[in-house]
């Protein structure tokens, strides 16, 4: 019985890894489209959201079957509970990547707003690293680094604050048009949310590994935070 459960959990880990790859590649490509202005690449990101949704549904079905038929306990049950939430978080990363791609298509000339674009790109790379590391902490059972990933969100928030300041200055000086400014604003908001999703994944990794719930300020008052989607 346990052998069969272990085999199914290994298959589930592989499917979750596929989900992580799909979501992070969508994010990376969305940032590339933003940087280069390639609308065809942005459209590919938008279209790939359907594949991510299907993968989420596939994993959800596997999770429900394992819980219902195998009745796991202890750390196996914690793994499955964490995996269910992480699966949803990764789907939300795909949604945010699609939002970034849509905003990229709406932007006019990028030449006059290159400093803003560069800041957005740096934010996107930082959030992508957070997602990658958070997921690796989950599969690699690295609770200490998961705590570090949660702390990385402070850097992203600082970058986000600096970006909004730059955006306001550009609007005041008429360096950018309102439509492009709104698209940039939506992009920054999406990336900031991706940082929150990375925190969520890290918190679930800690729950799986240590059995500690640190959301909502419990378990560790320095890192606990409300779960965001």
Region 193-205: mean pLDDT is 97
Domain that holds residue 25: 2-217
Supply the DSSP string of 174-210, one letter for each residue: T-S-HHHHHHHHHHHHHHHHHHHHHHHHHHHHHHHHH
Question: How many domains are contained in the chain?
Answer: 1
Provide mean pLDDT across the span 125-143.
97
Domain membership of residue 228 (yes or no) is no
What is the model's pLDDT at position 225?
44
pLDDT tier, 226 (very low <50, low <70, confident <90, very high otherwise): very low
**How many residues does this entry show for the chain?**
229
User: Would residue 149 count as lying in a domain?
Assistant: yes
- Whether 134 and 85 have beta carbons less than 8 Å apart is answered as no
- Is this model's pTM higher than 0.85 or not? yes
Which CATH number fits the domain that encloses residue 150? 1.20.58.220
Please report whether residue 189 resides in a domain: yes
| Residue 226 located in a structural domain | no
Distance CA 197, CA 127 (A): 9
The stretch 180-192 carries a mean pLDDT of 93
How high is the mean pLDDT of the chain? 91
d(CA 94, CA 53): 8
Would 62 be classed as within a structural domain?
yes
Q: Report if residue 224 sits inside a domain.
A: no
Neighbours of 58 (CB within 10 A): 14
- Angle formed by the axes of helices 2-36 and 114-140, to 10°? 170
Within a domain: 164: yes
Q: Please, what's the b/e burial string for 122-134 (b: 16 or more CB within 10 A of its CB; e: otherwise)? A: bbbebbbebbbbb
The owner of tokens 């202890």 is: 74
| pLDDT tens by residue, 46-85 | 999 999 999 999 999 999 999 988 888 899 999 999 999 9
> Across residues 119-130, what is the average pLDDT?
96
Picking from 121, 126, 116, the residue whose alpha carbon sits closest to that of residue 180 is 116
Residue 229 within a domain: no
Q: Distance between CA atoms of 191 and 173, rounded to whole angstroms? A: 25
pLDDT, residue 205, reads 97
Residue 101 reports pLDDT greater than 50: yes
Q: What is the pLDDT of residue 113?
A: 83
């Amino acid at each position: 019985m346990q052998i069969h459960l272990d085999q199914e959990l290994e298959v589930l880990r592989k499917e979750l890894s596929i989900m992580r790859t799909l979501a992070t590649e969508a994010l990376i490509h969305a940032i590339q489209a933003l940087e280069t202005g390639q609308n065809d690449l942005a459209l590919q990101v938008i279209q790939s959201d359907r594949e991510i949704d299907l993968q989420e549904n596939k994993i959800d079905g596997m999770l429900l079957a394992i819980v219902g038929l195998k009745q796991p306990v202890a750390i196996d049950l914690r793994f499955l509970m964490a995996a269910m939430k992480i699966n949803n978080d990764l789907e939300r990363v795909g949604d945010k990547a699609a939002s970034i791609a849509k905003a990229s298509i709406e932007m006019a000339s990028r030449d006059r707003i290159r400093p803003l674009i560069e800041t957005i790109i740096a934010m996107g790379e930082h959030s992508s690293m957070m997602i990658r590391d958070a997921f690796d902490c989950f599969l690699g059972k690295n609770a200490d680094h998961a705590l570090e990933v949660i702390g990385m969100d402070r850097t992203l928030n600082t970058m986000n604050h600096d970006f909004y300041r730059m955006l306001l200055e550009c609007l005041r000086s008429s360096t950018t048009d309102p439509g492009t400014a709104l698209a940039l604003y939506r992009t920054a908001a999406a990336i900031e949310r991706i940082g929150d999703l990375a925190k969520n994944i890290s918190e679930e990794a800690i729950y799986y590994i240590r059995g500690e719930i640190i959301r909502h300020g419990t378990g560790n008052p320095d890192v606990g935070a409300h779960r965001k989607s």
